[in-house]
Amino acid sequence: MNQNPPPAPRPAYQNPALPAEERVADLLARMTQAEKIGQLGQVAMFSFAERREEYLAGARAGQWGSRILAESAWAGNNPEPALDPAQLNEVQRAAVEESRLGIPLLYGRDVIYGHRTVLPIPHTYAASFNPDLVEQALGDVAAEAAADGVRWTFSPMVDLVRDPRWGRVIESCGEDPFLTSQMAVAAVRGFQGDDPAAPGRLLACAKHFAGYGGAEGGRDYDTTGWSENTLHNMILPPFAAAARAGVASMMAGFHDLGGTPSSASQDLIRGWLKDGLGWNGFVVSDWGSIYDLIGHGVAQDEREAARLGLAAGLDLEMTAGFYERNIGALLDAGTLPEAWLDDAVRRLLRAKFRAGLFDRPYTDPALARTLHCHPDHLARARELASQSVVLLKNQGGLLPLAPTLKKVAVLGPYAEARREHLGSWCLNGRPEEVTTVLDGLRAAAPGIAFTTANAAFSDALIDTARQAELTLLCVGESHLRNGENKSIAELALPPGQEELIAACGRLGLPLVVIDFSGRYLPSPAAEAHAQAIVHAGSLGTEAGAALARVLLGEVSPSGKLPMTIPRCTGQIPIYYNRKLPAKIAPTCATYRGYEDERLTPLYRFGFGLSYSTFRLANLGLSSGTMPPDGTVQFSATLTNTGPRRAAEVVQLYIRDSVASTTRPERELKGFQRIELGPGESARVSFSIAADQLRFYTANRRWELEPGEFRLALGTDSAAPFTHTLTVTGTPEHNAKT
Ligand code: GLC
């Protein structure tokens, strides 16, 4: 009886028991050049219904490595259709079960700060100074997106920003590299977890590599001119932090950096990131940023653009098809080494194995129903939103709202807004699921009559304010005026809102101005007329409920500014970690900076008020000197000297007194969010080690220069320098040479 032939042995790359690198090597060795080039392409499958057969054929042919789940290049600004896991499974099945090698597609999407549950935007949640909570909340977001079939998110954005006119400041964590790094690591860990192959996890993507936030004039896509000193000391550290945290991918940018488009920068991508850091992830272009090399005037045509991109080390091309159409010819002409193609494919395959795609390529469509807007997710979103609210002014303790109040007017464009709270990078959030400010207050304080008026009629609004004991005026720019390709020339509230604030102010009744703008804006009218000013920001799905907890005093505000607020546009750029002009020293008393404006900002980095008061005392340094391999403890006692439980953010700043290059007036090197009951105290301690004092020196290397460092502990960036630490030893470069 003829025996059935034994089944062919399963190829090594399909064996989940083998180490990923072995599976990568085995699969790469089996691939044709066309299949390798196919892995470097990402397609946007627009109009899927009409072009379904075309797309399925492409997947079967193994022509694409990835698919971006978006209907436009400005996904965040335009409404996006909900995802259809069944459609994603259908295309994936064509790739996995019908192509020659069965390499799965990597589905990527802009899950920036939410899916169905939408968190505060990053520029708002950065004010929480609570990376642990951000990590947990983004873990919830990852679970919701993964349930819909997403396996890779184009987040976190870790661009450092000093010009708030730039619309994409709303995606950033502001002007400080340390805070941005902490939030970058939180996001990578939140999205990826310990194992991105685990259900509910996504591959993360740090972007935009590197320096996009320096767009001249705040104009999106404009050229950037970061100095080498600033690039290495300020711009690159958050990318290094994300790389150390194991981020699976990075995205290059649209911008030109000092003459080289970031998407064609061999120095940065192949040099600093891949060779210098030894990072083994993959780099994706931004949408069409390889195509843009022609627009930058550095590529004559698409073939040259494709060559420049791959030569730079850019592994996956988002949407333009230049790699797909040109890399074969470039290789055949000998203008690109095959090794560069193999390196790119190896990195992409490594990521797919890391994401568990070969062993779990499909999604269970039923999952979404149980995970989307899960009560635990909404609760965490609400807590993060409450901690992200910044109290800027509170004359006479007007806030929290007194329980004796009977009639409070809730007015202005944001009083009953919904979609606007979801920010300008929201693809799956549903406005109808947002808690409005009015609903949040009414649900939390049924004993107070919260009245409102049609925001379209300012006379009705003023009339309603006149009849109330206090007005909460809810203003701010909406998602329509920030985000990608949405910058402003004048850093101010949208038209008419200053006048509205002044009109309410002239009633002479208690006025609270609440700004929901995604960025931190100065408001002269609020400064002049409001007894209390609150920056709420874009708070997400739970906006109204989260804000009500703060306004009614269930929790005290604890948010701290992640970005300096200028007094006017003319002061930009103005940021705390600046190089002090030598002339500003005491020897030059006449230095004013401007003839027509003060030198100080309206509100400084790290600032935020509380409903309680705190005292920081008994500061102590474990030792005034430290060897290069040493560590010292800088501690203080924090006491809640006020009437209610509240959290304070203690911040550690250092200044490098004398160095081989000019150094910032101060740099944030640590922060701790401490919650205390009235009268309670806690010892707060920061470890300071040499690694935190290293910087990119005149030797163009990241190294430690012994010498004197001034230390400050405080609750914002005005903390006084009280201690000095002397690091002994010889400069590392001497030790190395
Ligand atoms: C956009 C953005 C980028 C985003 C990508 C995909 O143009 O620059 O941040 O992730 O394209 O939507």
Tell me, in angstroms, the distance from the centre of ligand 1 to residue 167's CA. 13
Each residue's pLDDT tens digit, 222-247? 999 999 999 999 999 999 999 999 99
Q: Identify the band that residue 9 occupies on the pLDDT scale cut at 50, 70 and 90.
A: confident
Asked if 420 and 103 count as a contact pair (C-beta separation under 8 A), the reply is no
Confidence class for position 8, pLDDT limits 50, 70, 90:
confident
345, containing H or E segment:
helix 338-354
How is residue 224 written in tokens?
């950037």
pLDDT at 733: 60
pLDDT per residue as tens digits for the range 408-424: 999 999 999 999 999 99
Collect all residues with Cβ–Cβ distance below 8 Å to 369 and sequence separation of at least 6: none
Closest of 229, 234, 272, 232 to residue 252, by C-alpha:
272
> Are 245 and 188 in contact, with CB atoms under 8 Å apart?
yes
How far, in Å, CA of 537 to CA of 513, rounded? Answer: 12
Mean pLDDT of 717-728: 97
**Residue 737: pLDDT band by 50, 70, 90 thresholds?**
very low
Q: How confident is the model at residue 150 (pLDDT cuts 50, 70, 90)?
A: very high
Quick one: pLDDT at residue 456? 85
Residue 691: pLDDT band with limits 50, 70, 90: confident
User: How many residues in the chain?
Assistant: 737
**Does pLDDT of 325 surpass 50?**
yes
Q: Pick from 152, 157, 287, 316 the residue to mutate for probing ligand 1's pocket: most ligand atoms within 8 Å of its CB.
A: 287
552 secondary structure, DSSP code: T
Q: Which one, of 79, 110, 127, 142, lies nearest residue 539 by Cα?
A: 127
Percentage of the chain exceeding pLDDT 90 = 91
Q: Residue 181 pLDDT > 70, yes or no?
A: yes
Give the long-range contacts of residues 258-262, CB within 8 A, separation 24 or more.
258/224, 258/225, 258/226, 260/298, 261/289, 261/292, 261/293, 261/296, 261/298, 262/208, 262/209, 262/210, 262/211, 262/212, 262/289
Q: Which of 538, 429, 535 is nearest to 169 (CA)?
A: 538
Protein residues whose CB sits closer than 6 Å to any atom of ligand 1: 70, 73, 75, 110, 154, 207, 286-287, 484
What is the Cβ-side half-sphere exposure of residue 547, based on CA atoms within 13 angstroms?
Answer: 34
Q: What is the overall mean pLDDT for the chain?
A: 96
- Name the closest-CA residue to atom 6, ligand 1: 287
Nearest to 148 by CA among 85, 65, 234: 85
pLDDT for res 525 = 98
Choice among 286, 292, 315, 439 that is catalytic: 286
Within 10 Å of residue 567's Cβ, how many Cβ atoms?
19
Rounded to the nearest angstrom, the gap between the alpha carbon of residue 297 and the centroid of all alpha carbons in its chain is 30
The protein residue with its alpha carbon nearest to ligand 1, atom 8, reads: 286
Stronger pLDDT, 589 or 341, i.e. the higher one? 341
pLDDT band at 734 (very low <50, low <70, confident <90, very high): low
How many angstroms separate the CA atoms of 244 and 280, rounded?
11
Residue 149 host element (H or E) = none
On the question of pLDDT at 581 being above 90, the answer is no
**Taking the CA atoms of the chain, what radius of gyration do you get in angstroms?**
27
Q: Which pLDDT score, from 0 to 100, does residue 698 have?
A: 97
With a pLDDT cut of 70, the percent of the chain lying above it is 99
Phi, psi of 381 (to 5 degrees): -65, -40
CA of 396 to the centre of ligand 1 (A): 45
Residue among 110, 202, 319, 428 to mutate when testing ligand 1 (max atoms within 8 A of CB): 110
Q: Say how many Å lie between the CA of residue 424 and the centre of ligand 1.
A: 12
Evaluate whether 244 touches 191 at the Cβ level (below 8 Å). no
What pLDDT score does 404 carry? Answer: 96
Supply the pLDDT for residue 323: 97
Dist. CA 217–CA 342, nearest whole Å: 40
At 447, list the tokens: 């004993």
Using the mean position of ligand 1's atoms as its centre, give its distance from the Cα of residue 251 in Å. 9
Structure tokens at 341: 């193609």
CA quadruple 362, 366, 369, 370: dihedral sign: negative
Taking the centre of ligand 1 as the mean of its atom positions, its distance from the CA of residue 155, in whole angstroms, is 10
342 assigned to active site: no
Determine the Cα–Cα distance for residues 262 and 268; give it in Å rounded to an integer.
8
> What is the Cα–Cα distance from 33 to 246, expressed in whole angstroms?
29
Q: Does pLDDT of 736 surpass 80? A: no
Reported for 85-91, long-range contacts at CB under 8 A and 24+ positions apart, including other chains, are 85/147, 85/148, 85/149, 85/363, 85/364, 85/365, 85/368, 86/365, 87/48, 88/148, 88/149, 88/363, 89/149, 89/362, 89/363, 89/365, 90/56, 91/45, 91/55, 91/56, 91/59, 91/67
Residue 735: per-residue pLDDT: 56
- Report the pLDDT value the prediction gives residue 589, as an integer from 0 to 100: 76
The predicted-structure confidence for 36-93, as pLDDT tens digits, reads as follows 999 999 999 888 999 999 999 999 998 899 999 998 888 877 778 889 999 999 999 9
C-alpha torsion angle, residues 267, 269, 272, 275 (rounded to 10): -110
Query: In this structure, which amino acid lies at residue 219?
Result: R
